[in-house]
Amino acid sequence: MAAHTPGDPEPEAADRPSRSAISILNRYQRALLHAADTANQAKSAFLATMSHEIRTPLNAILGNLELLERSGLSAAQRERLRAVTSSSATLLDIINAILDFSKVESGQMSVESIPFDLAEAARQVIAVFTPAAQAKGLELELELDCIIDDGLAPRYLGDPTRVRETSRRQEAPPDCAYASAIPASA
């Protein structure tokens, strides 16, 4: 519908929406927006709940795999155990990423700012990858494959959990920054 300009004939009343029609459309638009927000909140709650429900038994599986690893296993059994452990840890990482996504989406993601040892965080990430690398016949050693600069500050302020998670992700979402670390003395 074209805008009315002075000098042009008035549009016919039938061509203009009535105030009641505009009011109805505005109420309908608000109802749709509310329904979309409600559905998004329900989806986030569902993802968070399911992530927690799946993570609990998966942590029990990982704990039992660790206990099994301490028992007397043959080389073949140990190799199979490493593959299952690695796959379970990967699944747990995926579930944690889903939970993080739902937290970010709902505005509930928290990032700590505590002193932590960045070199130790790097060592922990290498330790996570070592069984998977060995299961693939690769050698991954902290001393050879992870060079930690001697000039690295002993302590940083940041979220060590998010730093480790980000380091383990092969491809982090480009718009998602999980942590930043600054020297603790700053």
pTM, two decimals, is 0.47
Residue environment code for 47-56, b if the CB has 16+ CB neighbours within 10 A, otherwise e:
bbeebeebbe
Burial (Cβ within 10 Å: 0-12, 13-18, ≥19) of residue 75? exposed
Beta strands in 37-140 (DSSP E): 114-116
Contact between 122 and 161 (Cβ < 8 Å): no
Nearest in space to 44 (alpha carbons), one of 107, 96, 94:
107
CA distances from 145 to 7, 48, 51, 130, 148 (A): 80, 36, 33, 11, 10
- Per-residue confidence band for 24, with pLDDT thresholds at 50, 70 and 90: very high
pLDDT for position 177: 36
pLDDT for position 14: 60
- Per-residue confidence band for 181, with pLDDT thresholds at 50, 70 and 90: very low
Q: pLDDT of 98-155, one tens digit each?
A: 777 777 777 777 788 889 888 888 777 777 777 777 777 777 665 544 567 778 888 8
Q: pLDDT of 1-18, one tens digit each?
A: 556 666 666 656 566 778
